[in-house]
Chains A and B, each alone.
Chain A
Amino acid sequence: MRLLDVLGFATTALLRHRLRTVLTLLGVAIGVMAVVALTALGEGARRYVVDQFASLGTNLLIVLPGKTETTGGLPGFGGAPNDLTLEDAEALRRGVPGVRRLAPVALGNETVSAGERRRQVPVLGTTAELAAMRRLQVRFGRFLPAGDLGRGAPVAVLGAKLAGELFPHESALGRVVRIGGWRMRVIGVMEARGTQLGMNMDEVAYVPVASCMRMFNRTSLFRIVLQVGAAAELDAAKRRAVAILTERHGEEDVTCITQDAVLNTLSGILGALTLALAGIAAISLAVAGVGIMNVMLVSVAERQHEVGLLKALGARRRQILVVFLAEAVLIALAGAGAGLAGGWGLVAAAQPLVGALHLAPPPWASAAAASVAAVVGVVFGVLPAVRATRLDPVAALHGR
């Protein structure tokens, strides 16, 4: 018996009960559609996060004080780590191969005031190069001056929102603000940026790193950010950075993370989430399989005479099995086709509604959903088909 004949025979049987066939394949279609739509959402979210991270800057290496890996707990747990100093930063700039940019970062919270207006904000001490690495744009004036590592000029750059709140009616440029007890001249205002890594960049006051450390009486930097030319150089840079600081401190007491590692972790988590969504959606395919089994059992019962006849005509058991199995698989495949069309259509229709999130149905999900549907057709079609082959020909012919 040829494949084309099997399909032809199965198709005529399915077309005989159009409504029933369509309703059954609808179950499969909904399952496949759910897989496509949910994975599109998950993958869209993953890409969104990845893009967000990429906008933070690429090929970044971040050094923070304290060793998280070995203690497994908070940085510095069980003994204060050595300070991460400006001298350390300079040593890294000299010693790490492939460094293109480097910026030390100090951080504190302080009240910033201009006349009567005052705001409690994060104060971020750094150098000129941070703006380029973090892709921070200046709106008015300029960012922190270059070549000012140790001196700490009394200047500040304000985040967009902070500038607007302190100076609602005039330009902040050239005005003096008080940060704690320190008078700083505003030399720049940043472009609105939104939240980066949980910090609202529009509320930050940037000051030279030395000023910041003096202001908060800090001996240690919050972190040092380095940028290398290419992702391939990150590993070597990381090893070298750790080696340099270990030598300077006499012990390995810093943590060195790459942006890529963070990104990979997050991307992995979101990828797993997408997979979980696909799995949950796939459960509905199993439910659809039960529907297929049900309809096929009814079909076999209804067509007992036909089975008896086929046996009288000399059809082999395996042929009868294949014919009924083909019906189940055809239902599943037609459902999968409809589900894929519906899923992709749904995603296209929903795209305008979600805006920033770019819905992207991953091809693997569509392929997997269609394959699972086919497998479901086979698995849930076997029992009814086997039942057909087991019918006693005489009893089947006479409908007993």
Chain B
Amino acid sequence: MTSIVGIDLGTTNSLVAYMQGEQPVVIPGEDGSNLVPSVVAIPEPKTVIVGHAARAHLTTTPDKVIYSAKRLMGRGLEDIQEELALFPFRIAEDVQPGEVLRIQLGDQQFTPPEISAQVLRRLKKNAERYLGTAVTKAVITVPAYFNDAQRQATKDAGRMAGLEVMRLVNEPTAAALAYGLDRQKDGIVAVYDLGGGTFDISILKLHEGIFEVIATNGDTHLGGDDIDNLLIAIALDDLHGDLNVDYRKHPEVVQAIRREVIDAKIALSSQQMARISVDLPDGKVYRREITREQFEQIIQQVIDRTKGPCLQALKDADLQPEQIDEVVLVGGSTRIPLVRRLTDELFHLGARGKKPHTELNPDEVVALGAAVQAHILEGGSAATEDMLLLDVTPLSLGIEALGGVVAKIVQRNSTIPASATEHFTTGVDGQTNVAIHVVQGERELAKDCRSLARFDLKGIPPMTAGLPRIEVKFLIDANGILHVSAREQRSGKEAEIEVKPTYGLTDEQVETMILDSFDNAEEDFQQRQLIEARNEANTILSAVEKAPANAAWNLLSDEERSQIALVSEELRLLKDGDNLELLRAGTGALDKATRRFAELMMEGAVASALHGETMESAGEKLGEGPTAPHPFAPAEIKRDSAE
């Protein structure tokens, strides 16, 4: 029985997978679909809709729907100006720079981790229904180029969703694990991962089951979304020119265009031409044809932006393109022929008679890899024996020194866990506090890097300036998240540290957000119990309806028959109400009234399962916890792979 699942929390779509025997498989949702769109609609307070159904709200009530929230994870107002111009994110008006963002949905506000937690909760429920057991632990993937704050925000989202995040795994690395399961071959592999909102390139060395990342690079603002936005902008400009109407202020029209251009984009991966057709509010229709050639001209600028990170990663790994043995393509956007051509050129593939690996579905491979890593954390099996992932930190860690200059303490591409120890002292006699500013990034000045946190070393014993010697240990854990501890060495005193993450939520904040979701879960549970109780009532009522056709019916007294009719009528009424207790009592009463009938049927060796069925299902339905309310027939799932 698997208890840790693997989750790909994507910008556009999210998936949950687990290890079924020796193979990772994606767990489908109730609708049979493997992908849960990362879209959350909150049309009214306490009603949360996630996935395909939420997408439908985009064209009707776009102000109460949010998508691509991953772009906002762990970021501040000043980071997202670019996105605000392109995405219909409604940020709460009172958010200040340096604060955690809040998204306005109708009258309510949510932080990005809360939105992601809703998507995670959906995946958790899908897994629980499918596996028939509670799921409380997960491995969640993040873009390799995510910084500390973005990773922490993802972890917070997991906690809010009731999931213990056992490990954050970098998406390209997860993809390598999924591929590595089939072909345990040594060599150098490059994973090119162009998803909905982020781009990553990772170069790994495979050696007897060890997956050692040597270099990684990327861009957390680059993906299929950017292609969509370019196409939307062109359509809006067209309309402005032709009709002299600026539809930018009409979210419904923008969303309708968005849907059409995404369809066109997908079609153009296999066809030479696609049509766009959008109904406009005033009865007009916007139509346009786009050829693949035009499409490629438009998106060239976006695709070209993946080159720089690839070349930098090669340089950091100290490798020439010819030394890359295999290239793995991950992310839906790698289906675009232009992307395939670019990777072919970058890594000289065709010239060497090689092809990139695309055997595993690029939308699913990251989730499959997360399931593999989850399995490894559980202790593994023959399938994952000897597999070990050694990942790196994507960005250098530094502290702000005099003059705003960054002193790097952990270089990018260092294998994690990694640590650095630094010594600090005081500048003024009797000083008891020392402030430390930690940044992440490659630039020389702290103001150009990403501010991670400000630490206050407190409780330093008063001494002459320069005498205290405070040792601070910075440790980046296997999730790529920073931990800090400090000690004043002359007094041996543990310096107290107050961590102020620049864009993070405090533990207390996360805690209240967890409670909120548990409240909702309780409500959801009530709802589900009611639905199940109704189903149960229906089952027994329909059995009673068929009863007169059975020979045993004639053996009942008139009294017994009229009692059954009376109790059935009561139950029919209760079934339409929403009082769970009464409904259950009504079902119980009918069960009791029909007991002798069931016995007579048995005696008559009539093997209809009237009682047996209701009793058995009632036991299963009510006996389990809120996470696994009813048994579910496992759907058929197949792995999109050419093995």
* A and B found bound together: no
Footprint of A on B, CB under 8 Å?
A: none
Footprint of B on A, CB under 8 Å?
A: none
